Amino acid sequence: MKPVQESMESFLSVASQAARSAGALIRENWRQAKQVHYKSAINLVTTIDRRAEEMIVGLLLKNFPGHSVLAEEETSISGSEGGYRWIIDPLDGTTNFVHAYPQFGVSIGLEQAGEIILGVVYDPLREEEFTAVKGQGARLNGQPVHTTEVAELNKALLATGFPYDHRENPDYYLRYFRAFMVRAQGIRRAGAAALDLCYLACGRIDGFWELKLHPWDTAAGSLIVREAGGTVTDFAGKPFSILGEETLASNGLIHAEMLDALKLMGV
């Protein structure tokens, strides 16, 4: 297989192919018994995570052999071409997958010179593919999507997740939860941050916050939110970085209220 000519169209096509191929593997195995390994007491990895990562990385590098790669399950490759780096979560929502809870997906982002320029998140069970190219809007299965027009936090549905050290710091993380629980219409905690961000982008929720996410959790989803008209910052309203520990995302209309909620609760 010869490398394809580099262009945003080819990047998106190959990323989509990689996400769908890994998704097919995940879909075939989600109801089966899993071989589970423990990174920590509640941070799991399965053989399917690793096989999906190998599949994605292999396909990307066949097509773009000079690119760098950063993936969750320890793949780190330094390329020499164009400042491109693929940031991959082969199975976002591994704990859900282990328990056959149907909320997980594949996340693939493309960064150039420190800026995310492309994102693909694929839900293999619902066969929903969320995509975005910088400056070209966000799409769900090829159709444009946009964030909601909910303009008040008390009418908003939010989503969140808890970091892997929540057993050690429960009171700290619950302060954030309480700050929004008493102000929002409702909160959901589904266990797959990449899909949470995509649900924000397509209007299923209005806001999202989480601490201590990793680059592979947010690279694709943060771009998809922004391209859908949303806002992504840290908890102080400063520019978002996939390398930071704070992710605050919204439809933009309730962002100031979400920031105020954090300040008022002193977190």
Give me the residue spans of the domains in the chain: 8-145, 153-264
CA distance 267 to 210: 13
pTM of the model: 0.94
Query: Does domain 8-145 correspond to CATH entry 3.30.540.10?
Result: yes
Contact (CB, 8 A) for 153 and 253: no
DSSP annotation of 78 = -
Sheet holding 128-133, edge to edge: 76-77, 68-71, 84-92, 105-112, 115-123, 128-133, 138-140, 143-145
The pLDDT value recorded for residue 131 is 98
Extract the tokens encoding 104.
């997980």
Taking 3-state DSSP, the helix, strand and coil percentages for the chain, each rounded to the nearest 5, stand at 35, 25, 40
Q: Is 146 helix (H, G, I), strand (E, B) or coil?
A: coil
CA distance 146 to 225: 8
CA distance 102 to 125: 7
Extract the tokens encoding 45.
């990895």
Contact (CB, 8 A) for 106 and 19: yes
17: number of CA atoms within 13 Å, CB side?
13
CA distance 89 to 66: 20
CA distance 259 to 4: 44
- The four Cα atoms 118, 218, 126, 86 give a dihedral, to 10 degrees, of 40
CA distance 92 to 27: 13
CA distance 192 to 169: 20
Identify the CATH class of 153-264: alpha beta
Residue identified by tokens 């444009």 is: 144
The pLDDT value recorded for residue 165 is 67
Output the tens digit of pLDDT for each of the chain's 267 residues.
Answer: 456 668 999 999 999 999 999 999 999 999 987 778 776 565 677 899 999 999 999 999 999 999 999 998 777 888 766 789 999 999 999 999 999 999 999 999 999 999 999 999 999 999 999 999 999 999 999 999 999 999 999 999 999 999 876 677 788 889 999 999 999 999 999 999 999 999 999 999 999 999 999 999 999 999 999 999 999 999 999 999 999 999 999 999 999 999 999 998 765
The pLDDT value recorded for residue 72 is 83
8-145 and 153-264, same CATH topology: no
Strand stretches in 2-149, DSSP E: 36-38, 44-46, 68-71, 76-77, 84-92, 105-112, 115-123, 128-133, 138-140, 143-145
The pLDDT value recorded for residue 77 is 84
Q: Which of 88, 90, 89, 91 is nearest to 104 (CA)?
A: 91
94: number of CA atoms within 13 Å, CB side?
24
